[in-house]
Chains A and B, each alone.
Chain A
Amino acid sequence: MQAEVNALRGAIPQGLLEPPLTVGTVTPGSLDDQVLAFPETLPPKQWYIGLAITLTALVIGFSFIGYTIATGIGVWGNNSPVFWAFDIINFVFWVGIGHAGTLISAILFLFRKRWRNAIARFAEAMTIFAVICAVIFPLIHVGRPWLAYWLFPYPNQRALWTNFRSPLLWDVFAVNTYFSVSLMFWYLGLIPDIASMRDRTTSKVRKVIYTVLALGWRGAARHWQHYEKAYLLLAGLATGLVLSVHSVVSFDFATSVVPGWHMTIFPPYFVAGAIFAGFAMVVMVLVVVRETMQLQNLITTRHLDVMNKVILSMSCIMGYSYMMEGFTAWYSMNEFLHHGFMNIISGSYGWAGWLTIFCNILFPQILWFKKARTSYFWMILVAIGVTIGMWFERFVIIVISLHQDYLPSAWRLYKPTMVDFGILLGTFGIFFTLVLIFARVLPVIATTEVKAILPEAQPSHHGEDHHV
């Protein structure tokens, strides 16, 4: 086989060959010893410090959520005419973060991008955690979360049904579907890995837990056949789903008549923004994971390089979208649209508009340089910038559009309260607490998927580019 590959390497110019997916010698056995060892050992001191910080944020967040529920949502800064503010901004922000995970696990799977195998597991986990953070906001914004089940169309004594023409109801379906499908996708991928952990652990308690979670997986060829088919189908379905979810989220705005919201560009614009923000978060977290868990041989410099390229391309799409927003405002000759756009660049919240443009469009352009794409300093700086920029992009869309609409007598500036910030901090606490726990409890790298793409992993009469 090696001879064949060498012959090919002679024929194909060096630059066109796919670089190796791992660094150094990685065998299936060494992979298990490296990745599956984490759950069996005690975490280092830094992990506990990190957990203490994230748990503090989580507790602060939950106290403010409790205060909100006990007192009412009047404790937030939302008021006429800005009825939607931090709650929806944070909801859109977190749902967007989740999209990178599905993109990596589903769309890149369909495109046969084999490098995705090493980072898919972590990105999928981040999807699930981000969606958990996202659903908190609509849940507490309804005011009486214990009645939130009214959002679902179920036969009830009041003989009432939900309104299927409302994009908010589409959201309920989209986000619930997204969460359950992501969870299913993630768990199916975990089953063979948990089976590996089950068969290598020496602890009796762990053995019982892993046995139950692995469902008796035994790696039979007949099982793998159905499993691979299911994985392919799920990837195809999740691809459509991930595009639909943020489109539906954008419908919340686009189907209304508020100037600055009522635009046909919104669905693709939102999906691109979601992937953009999600990749930034994945890069940030993966860099930390890669360094602290010594995974440099599996999450290679090439992974970071490729992910930064995705961020760069999404940044360009965002730049195009921003320009289209300005163009639409100008070309429509609609004074309301024009006023709304001028608010973004020169109104009371103009600083937020420029911060968005700088963080999302201008600063990421540094990633055109390979040096920046492979340097921790620059890529983390860009990723933090994109996270801030994408949060402010939603602030710009929601608050700036709402605070001055058709009725000048109702115009008012929006000011968030302490509680708004506390809950936002709390969701970061929830997210990173879950990430930290996940990193030490489950395999952070899909060992089964990486084993399948190692050199010599497949029978030699099948070329190495034939499979994922």
Chain B
Amino acid sequence: MSETSYSVLGVFATPDALMAAIPKARAAKLGTVEAYTPYPIHGIDDALGLRRSPLGGMVLVMGILGAVTAFGFQYWISAIDYPIITGGKPPDSWEAFIPIMFEVTVLFATFTAGLGMLLLLNKLPFFGHPVLSSKAITGITRDRYVLAIEAEHQGFDSAAAAKTLKEAGAIDVEVLPAPDRSPFLTSDFILRTLGGIFVACLVAGLTMFFATKWFPLLRPMANMQDQPRLNAQKPSAFFKDGHGMQRPVAGTVARGHLPTATGTQEAAATLVNPLPRTKEMFAVGRKAYLNRCEVCHGVVGNGQGSLTAAYGAKPANLQAQQFRDYPDGKIYWAIVNGKNAMPAHAADLTETQRWAVVHYVRALQRAQNAKDEDLKVVAP
């Protein structure tokens, strides 16, 4: 009996009897003295010599942690990761974070108070405790007050403990055997499981974070990451002809400009360039020429453009006598309507730009075929 017994319970009928028995049981020094009561008895902590509950400190620490977590989380989101201005407040306006800080503080603190009390301090759930299978338990949770002397080591003398309790006034004494099987689902098990889940989440989260950083191809659900787009000078799959953008339909004119001169090139010969021959106009014409014409007709208009060789095209040599003899109107007509392989530029150039290009082409022709008098004009 003595080796395997776990504890001895003495049952008392009133709280007074229980309180009177505690000093006697403790004085016997046979083992740990514990009381089991249906409700908290005041003054029993001191009588049993229990230390103060550390729960208050735990709750304080976790409450502060809750406040700091809530503030840090909100600050990081609102001011750093996703700084959107709402209600005209600066992204780091911390005053708005206070309500949620308070709620999270309370949340952390209450869960620490509740679960910390159950799981950490009281080690509950614990279904295998010998007292739970004792005869006295129906009284403990009803109206009986039980004092237990619990074994601290192998040499526990249960007979002496029973005698002590009887002498202290117990109306009934019960010797509890040690539990014959290990309890299941203890608080330790639950805490370890929760800890395991927490660590697993942490590991999984960190793994995914670094995995996606180091191996971007592994990024999960990259639905919108690879989008079709247009690259300069590259064919595109947007349309059948390989162009990224489609040409404007025939007859398209730039917005807000005069309609294109119609009729034949011969008919257009009578048109007169309306622009003055000023420095500014030549600059406009030069810019438009370099953007639109130079690739084929060349910098000086000799038909040796930067892309001529690559495509094997034969653009007109504007320095040829035929084109030097053209009236302005016929050049204008060619720019607007295109000629042979040359596309129409009506949609690309404004009316001013077209005539400015005509001026510029005239300037190029004259520059390449300068006469002696021209030098005199240039001299200041």
Contact = CB atoms under 8 A, between A and B. Distances in A.
Contact of B114 (A164, A195, A230): A230
A267 to B, nearest CB: 11
A153 B81 CA distance: 13
A27 B39 CA distance: 13
B69 interface: no
Given A221-B48, A221-B50, A230-B113, A452 B39 contact: yes
B323 interface: no
B102 to A, nearest CB: 6
A456 to B, nearest CB: 7
Contact of B118 (A215, A222, A229, A238): A215
A215 B124 contact: yes
A119 B83 CA distance: 49
B142 A226 contact: no
Contacts of B132: 216, 218
Interface stretch (A81-89, A155-163, A314-322, A394-402): A155-163
Interface in B255-272: none
B42 A466 contact: yes
Interface secondary structure of B, over-half rule: helix
A169 B42 CA distance: 44
B353 to A, nearest CB: 45
Contact of A219 (B14, B36, B50): B36
A121 interface: no
Nearest to B81: A161
A241 B96 contact: no
A217 interface: yes
A462 B43 CA distance: 8
A285 interface: no
B188 interface: no
Interface in A215-247: 215-230, 233-234, 237-238, 240-241, 244
Given A177-B106, A199-B138, A165 B96 contact: yes
Given A227-B117, A233-B55, A177 B103 contact: yes
Contacts of B127: 211, 216
A216 B126 contact: yes
Interface residues of A, number: 71
Nearest to B109: A237
Contacts of B93: 165
B55 A226 contact: yes
Interface string A437-468: 00000000000110110001111111000110
Nearest to A245: B103
Nearest to B128: A216
28 contacts: A28-B142, A153-B73, A164-B100, A177-B106, A177-B107, A185-B114, A200-B138, A216-B127, A216-B129, A218-B36, A219-B36, A219-B37, A219-B38, A220-B35, A220-B131, A223-B122, A224-B37, A224-B41, A227-B40, A241-B106, A244-B99, A452-B40, A456-B15, A458-B15, A459-B41, A459-B43, A462-B42, A462-B43
Interface of A: 27-29, 32, 153, 157, 159-167, 169-170, 173-174, 177, 180-181, 184-185, 187-188, 192, 195-196, 198-200, 211, 215-230, 233-234, 237-238, 240-241, 244, 248, 251, 448-449, 451-452, 456-462, 466-467
Given A28-B39, A165-B78, A165-B96, 5 more contacts: A160-B82, A199-B141, A211-B127, A237-B113, A462-B42
